[in-house]
């Protein structure tokens, strides 16, 4: 322990030096981002594909990360839920059903909300504060005065991440906002802000430094001149996260926030200095006495533990300075136990290790280095972690409520949590949120977990009913839970589709399945035909099933059996599994003893070769290839990154790989530190091809064309510099030269660029705020968003047999759209004034318009009539008999937008045409076909052959429609 403690202290300044020595790209200004929203709207207005409908296919069962809850003081069945990346939702029936309210603004990410229930006014502070890998940046404050129907932007654009919004209890125009500030760059617009004119103007009233913002804020409701604020200094980069600093502290104001005094002084009993991390605050009054609680992420190192008289097992820190001679004196049993405890591969048994040591192939330190990478610093850092403090005198003095460490609550990632609550009726009952949610009934001395079997483990929000003891509403990475017995049992409110997908994939089954990996909710698979319903609670069969735990990552499916799947969880822990038999095997390649550990990206790339599905690729900082379905791997490259940087976040890793469908061995890789490489000979030789591209940007996708061997696309992402530019490129010469495409895209970081498998000119681009389509290989784009909110799109894939586009969003689960007509938009069709598309055969049903009971809604059939128009205008539709085209069975008019349109038709006839059809049936002696009035009073087309005619001006197009 002593050596590890000294090593960690020595490493810390190296991290800071590495950060300071690197040039910092300029962050995109909030004004530019907000102005760019108009560009997004323009790409929607001019879009030819804005009418292509999406359908959400869930899943919902695991929900998603909650940022805040606001509950009606008069009716607790009415509350709002703010999701980190899934927008704002409202329920009026205790979480049984939710309605989204914040789907189409500049951003969807939320840090905190506040509700003026008396005036039906909602305030949204955008930008999640948990500072994780996917904590998106907001653009300030939004206000709705009509319960969420319409929104106004109310400034503080450079806030990026907002920790708390506090309303004045008596003055609707006065509020305070805790602004945390930029995540990946320094900025001055941090601290506590106040407005007295409803957000028209803001005044910064508390400031610490350019890396420290306000994270929490509480108010004395009876005396709103008294406020307490917590500030937090944190500096995050792609390779390192400094979670604490001198700028963290607790402040008090007694004049409505105009002036502040720091109250966590050296004499106060509350920690100060470099180790002070995120702080959460809570306040109550009992018997007239003001009581404050604070939960601290204490990043000071734990004191060295006294060595036990007799150490029972060999530990890696014992080996750091051990000599070869001393190692060879160890008992073989102790070495064997050490290797087993630290999960060394079986090939490194005791005899093998001793032999390597004797031959000087390794040293004792090699055994330590074999185990340590950025993740070991992230998870093994011996910080104090979560601590709870109490003050009974307005913050003048503080006392820690517990003697022992609160282990396994924050670990070394307390930046992700930071909330504490007090029961309104009992100042001794407090709740803290971390990896579990804990309750103390004795003022914080002892704690019990109230995490039950249907409650997620990561917690961020809690409301306690002041009028009913034990009634709790809890928000976590698994959505919303409600308890009426103080956490003994919980109900799960998981109807909103707010899953945070990182990646999606499909198989080629007849009714194909969708696969996807999610933030903190594993890997799931399910049928593409999913429709949201509670029926599974009766059948016990949810349409999706989880096939992997942890943070779910990328998925590759062997389509020869549609059962062999390669997937896993964070940092490269991947498996080959069979979804039918349940068999699974860990397949992650390992480095050799004597080498430094491989560096694995949070989202490790995995690909199956299109040339032979026994061949599997995985990428660390090197590219690995298996010829036998992952049984064994070989390195086919050296390090394809810049080589790594000191820090506690895995970095300088490969973030994307792709093999050309046209040539085996033509492979591209991209790294998180901005490099793209290509090999044309299966890894024997590599060439770096990033000349001319922006430096130090995360390569989110390289995509080798299936139409031209030398064509390749690449997308870069500057999010981790707070750079929001859209970087997407195309090369026609294997990456030797690049052309910037998508110059008309708004300022939205790009997560993926994919080529359509049927149309060489069709591209799909997913950004942090939506899906964009190009019909000219990226020279221009348009927005495709009918029924798709402005959510982050992380991945897309086309299921070619079904001709459906599957979209994985990071906040609203999965969407699917038919691209059958979109794929046909070539130049010939685009130049036509009007074009209709083929209609699939349909099966007639006697149930149409009928119901089995008077109280049951009748079955209403529906079909979409797809067509394209070069310009918007009025359209005339008619259904006629194929054999007697003069017999018009239904006729109606509608308005078409420019581009693709989908007119809904219900197979019904006009009432006055029923006698004509009856006569026509009689003349054709169709004795097996009857025409009867349905229960809903309508007549429907009998089986037969028809024509669907569409007319725009003088232009008429028609398509056959066959009812079997």
Q: What is the pLDDT of residue 140?
A: 98
Q: What is the pLDDT of residue 21?
A: 46
Exposure pattern of 703-723 as b/e (b: 16+ CB <10 Å)?
A: bbbbeebbbbbbbbbbbbbbb
Positive or negative, the CA dihedral 163, 167, 172, 177 is negative
Q: What is the mean pLDDT of each run of 10 residues along the chain (964 residues)?
A: 32 33 80 97 97 96 96 98 98 98 97 98 98 95 98 98 98 98 97 98 98 98 97 96 97 98 97 98 95 97 65 84 94 93 91 94 92 66 93 97 96 95 97 97 98 96 97 98 98 96 97 97 96 91 95 97 97 96 96 92 97 98 98 97 90 97 98 98 98 96 98 97 98 98 98 98 98 98 98 98 98 98 97 96 90 81 96 96 85 96 93 71 61 86 92 96 94
Whether 65 and 812 have beta carbons less than 8 Å apart is answered as: no
Q: Terminus-to-terminus CA distance in the chain, angstroms? A: 77
d(CA 372, CA 604): 18
Which among 395, 356, 142, 359 has a CA at the least distance from the CA of 265? 395
Whether 572 and 604 have beta carbons less than 8 Å apart is answered as: yes
> What are 662-703's pLDDT values in tens digits?
999 999 999 999 999 999 999 999 999 999 999 999 999 999
Positive or negative, the CA dihedral 265, 266, 268, 271 is positive
| 3-class DSSP assignment, residue 94 | coil
C-alpha separations of 855 from 207, 852, 924 in Å:
63, 9, 37
Positive or negative, the CA dihedral 734, 738, 741, 745 is positive
In sequence order, the 6+-apart residues with CB closer than 8 A to the CB of 503 are 516, 517, 553, 554, 555, 603, 794, 795, 808
Whether 848 and 934 have beta carbons less than 8 Å apart is answered as: yes
d(CA 706, CA 419): 50
Whether 737 and 730 have beta carbons less than 8 Å apart is answered as: no
d(CA 858, CA 619): 54
| 3-class DSSP assignment, residue 877 | strand
Q: What is the pLDDT of residue 316?
A: 86
Side-chain half-sphere exposure of 807, counting CA atoms within 13 A: 35
Which among 523, 452, 464, 462 has a CA at the least distance from the CA of 490? 452
Q: What is the pLDDT of residue 851?
A: 85
Which long-range contacts does 435-438 make (Cβ < 8 Å, 24+ apart)?
Answer: 435/408, 435/409, 435/410, 435/411, 436/408, 436/409, 437/462, 437/474, 437/476, 437/487, 438/406, 438/409
d(CA 863, CA 861): 7
Tokens matching residue 321 = 């300075």
- Alpha-carbon 797 to chain mean position: 17
> What are 634-665's pLDDT values in tens digits?
999 999 999 988 888 999 999 999 999 999 99
- Alpha-carbon 324 to chain mean position: 48
Task: Give phi and psi for 652, each to the nearest 5.
Answer: 55, 60
d(CA 701, CA 180): 31
- Alpha-carbon 799 to chain mean position: 22
The beta-strand segments (E) located in 8-117 are 55-56, 66-71, 79-83, 87-91, 99-100, 110-116
Q: How many residues does the chain have?
A: 964
Whether 765 and 780 have beta carbons less than 8 Å apart is answered as: no
> What are 788-800's pLDDT values in tens digits?
999 999 999 999 9
Which among 59, 62, 93, 101 has a CA at the least distance from the CA of 77? 93
d(CA 113, CA 121): 11
Tokens matching residue 504 = 């999606």
Task: Give phi and psi for 712, each to the nearest 5.
Answer: -150, 145
Measured torsion, CA atoms of residues 923, 924, 925, 928, in degrees rounded to the nearest 10: -130
d(CA 812, CA 501): 8
| 3-class DSSP assignment, residue 342 | coil
The beta-strand segments (E) located in 376-450 are 383-391, 399-400, 419-423, 426-433, 437-440, 448-449
How many other C-beta atoms are found inside a 10 Å radius of the C-beta of residue 252?
A: 18
The beta-strand segments (E) located in 653-741 are 654-659, 667-671, 676-679, 687-688, 698-704, 712-717, 727-731, 739-741
Residue the block writes with tokens 């093999």: 659
Bridge partners of 517, per DSSP, are 503, 523
Q: What is the pLDDT of residue 651?
A: 95
Running DSSP on this structure, what letter comes out for residue 908?
Answer: B
C-alpha separations of 325 from 338, 349, 358, 363, 364 in Å:
18, 19, 9, 10, 10
d(CA 671, CA 261): 46
d(CA 504, CA 57): 13
Q: What is the pLDDT of residue 309?
A: 46
Which among 523, 527, 532 has a CA at the least distance from the CA of 566? 523
């Amino acid at each position: 322990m002593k050596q590890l403690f000294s090593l960690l202290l020595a490493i810390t300044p190296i991290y800071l030096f590495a950060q300071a020595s690197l040039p910092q790209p300029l962050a995109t200004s909030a004004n530019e981002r907000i102005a760019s929203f108009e560009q997004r709207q323009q790409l929607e207005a001019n879009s030819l594909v804005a009418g292509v409908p999406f359908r959400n296919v869930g899943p919902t069962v695991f929900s998603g990360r909650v940022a805040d809850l606001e509950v009606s003081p008069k009716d607790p069945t009415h509350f709002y839920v703010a999701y980190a990346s899934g927008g704002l939702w409202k329920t009026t029936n205790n979480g049984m059903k939710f309605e989204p309210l914040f789907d189409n603004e500049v951003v969807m990410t939320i840090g905190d909300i506040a509700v003026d229930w008396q005036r039906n006014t909602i305030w949204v502070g955008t930008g999640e504060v948990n500072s994780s890998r996917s904590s998106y940046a907001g653009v300030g404050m939004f206000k709705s005065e009509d319960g969420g129907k319409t929104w106004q932007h109310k400034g503080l654009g450079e806030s990026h991440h907002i920790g708390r919004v506090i309303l004045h209890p008596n003055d609707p125009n006065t509020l305070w906002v805790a602004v945390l500030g930029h995540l990946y760059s320094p900025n001055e617009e941090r601290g506590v802000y106040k407005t007295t004119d409803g957000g028209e103007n803001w005044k910064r009233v508390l400031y610490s430094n350019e890396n420290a913002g306000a994270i929490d804020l509480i108010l004395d409701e009876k005396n709103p001149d008294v406020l307490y604020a917590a500030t937090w200094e944190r500096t995050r980069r792609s390779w390192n996260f400094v979670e604490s600093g001198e700028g963290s502290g607790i402040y008090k104001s007694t004049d409505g926030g105009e002036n502040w005094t720091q109250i966590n002084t050296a004499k106060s009993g509350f920690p100060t200095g470099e180790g002070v991390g995120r702080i959460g605050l809570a306040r109550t009054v009992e018997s007239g006495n003001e009581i404050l609680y604070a939960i601290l992420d204490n990043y000071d190192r734990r004191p060295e533990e006294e060595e036990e008289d007799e150490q029972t097992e060999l530990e890696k820190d014992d080996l750091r300075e051990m000599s070869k001679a001393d190692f060879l004196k160890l008992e073989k049993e102790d070495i064997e136990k050490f290797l087993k405890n630290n999960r060394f591969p079986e090939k490194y048994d005791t005899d093998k290790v001793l032999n390597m040591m004797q031959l000087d192939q390794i040293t004792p330190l090699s055994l330590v280095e074999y185990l340590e990478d950025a993740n070991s610093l992230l998870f093994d850092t011996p910080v104090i972690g979560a601590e709870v403090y109490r003050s009974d005198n307005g913050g003048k003095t503080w006392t820690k409520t517990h003697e022992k460490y609160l282990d396994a609550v924050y670990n070394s990632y307390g930046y992700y949590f930071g909330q504490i609550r007090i029961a309104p009726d009992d100042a001794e009952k407090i709740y803290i949120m971390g990896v579990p949610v804990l309750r103390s009934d004795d003022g914080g001395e002892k704690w019990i977990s109230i995490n039950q079997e249907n409650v997620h483990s990561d917690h961020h929000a809690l409301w306690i009913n002041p009028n009913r003891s034990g009634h709790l509403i809890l928000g976590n990475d698994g959505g919303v839970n409600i308890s009426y017995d103080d956490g003994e049992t919980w109900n799960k409110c998981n109807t909103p589709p707010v899953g945070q997908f990182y990646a999606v994939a499909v198989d080629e089954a007849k009714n194909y399945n969708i696969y996807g990996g999610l933030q903190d909710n594993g890997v799931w698979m399910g049928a593409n035909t999913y429709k949201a319903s509670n029926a599974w609670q009766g059948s016990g069969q949810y349409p999706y099933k989880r096939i992997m735990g942890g943070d779910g990552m990328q998925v590759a499916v062997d389509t020869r059996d549609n059962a062999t799947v390669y997937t896993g969880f964070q940092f490269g822990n991947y498996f080959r599994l069979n979804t039918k038999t349940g068999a699974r095997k860990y397949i992650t390649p390992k480095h050799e003893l004597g080498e430094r550990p491989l560096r694995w990206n949070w989202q490790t790339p995995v690909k199956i070769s299109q040339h032979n599905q026994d061949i599997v690729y995985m990428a660390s900082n090197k590219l690995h290839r298996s010829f036998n379905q992952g049984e064994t791997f070989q390195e086919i490259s050296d390090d394809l990154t810049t080589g790594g940087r000191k820090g506690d976040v895995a970095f300088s890793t490969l973030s994307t790989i792709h093999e050309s469908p046209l040539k085996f061995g033509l492979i591209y890789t991209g790294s998180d530190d901005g490099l793209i490489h290509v090999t044309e000979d299966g890894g024997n030789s590599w060439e770096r091809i990033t000349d001319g591209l922006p430096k130090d940007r995360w390569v989110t996708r390289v995509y080798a064309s299936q139409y031209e061997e030398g064509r390749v696309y690449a997308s870069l992402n500057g999010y981790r510099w707070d750079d929001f530019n859209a970087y997407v490129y195309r090369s026609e010469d294997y990456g030797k030269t690049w052309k910037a495409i998508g110059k008309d895209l708004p300022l939205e970081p790009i997560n993926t660029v994919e080529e359509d498998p049927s149309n060489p000119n069709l591209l799909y681009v997913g950004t942090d705020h939506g899906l964009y389509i190009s019909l000219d290989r990226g020279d221009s784009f348009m927005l495709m968003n009918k029924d798709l909110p402005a959510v982050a799109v992380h991945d897309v894939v086309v299921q070619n047999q079904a001709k459906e586009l599957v979209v994985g969003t990071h906040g609203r689960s999965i969407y699917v759209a038919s691209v059958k007509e979109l794929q046909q938009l070539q130049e010939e069709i685009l130049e036509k004034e009007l074009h209709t598309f083929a209609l699939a055969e349909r099966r007639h049903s006697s149930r149409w318009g009928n119901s089995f009971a008077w109280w049951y809604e009748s079955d209403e059939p529906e079909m979409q009539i797809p067509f394209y128009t070069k310009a918007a205008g009025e359209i005339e539709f008619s259904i006629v008999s194929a054999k007697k085209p003069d017999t018009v069975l239904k006729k109606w008019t509608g308005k078409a937008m420019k581009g693709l349109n989908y007119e809904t038709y219900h197979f019904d006839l006009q009432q006055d045409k029923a006698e004509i059809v009856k006569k026509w049936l009689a003349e054709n002696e169709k004795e097996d076909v009857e025409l009867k009035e349905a229960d809903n009073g309508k007549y429907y087309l009998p089986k037969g052959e028809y024509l669907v005619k569409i007319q725009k001006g003088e232009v008429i197009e028609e398509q056959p429609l066959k009812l079997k």
